[in-house]
């Protein structure tokens, strides 16, 4: 439960380049996990959009 609360808070407040020197090792590791999950989510969306684009391209291909 504690990890979920941290994820909820940090996932909305992570700013690239911000000072993280005051964060604990656990907080840094949690941020890394949040960012990895976000990367996976974004990569999945790219794959989905590419599939849609490829399907549309094949319909209009002459």
Tokens coding 15: 């700013």
Q: Domain limits of the chain? A: 25-62
pLDDT score recorded for residue 59: 87
Confidence of residue 2 (pLDDT cuts 50, 70, 90): low
Within the chain, where are the H helices?
Answer: 2-13, 25-60
pLDDT score recorded for residue 48: 96
Q: pLDDT tens across 4-58, in order?
A: 665 565 556 799 999 999 999 999 999 999 999 999 999 999 999 999 999 988 8
CA distance from start to end of the chain = 55
Tokens coding 6: 């941290």
pTM to 2 decimal places:
0.67
């Amino acid at each position: 439960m504690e990890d979920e609360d941290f994820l909820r808070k940090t996932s909305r407040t992570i700013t690239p380049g911000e000072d993280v020197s005051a964060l604990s090792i656990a907080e840094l590791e949690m941020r890394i996990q949040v960012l990895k999950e976000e990367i996976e989510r974004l990569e999945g969306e790219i794959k989905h959009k590419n599939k849609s684009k490829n399907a549309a391209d094949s319909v209009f291909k002459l």
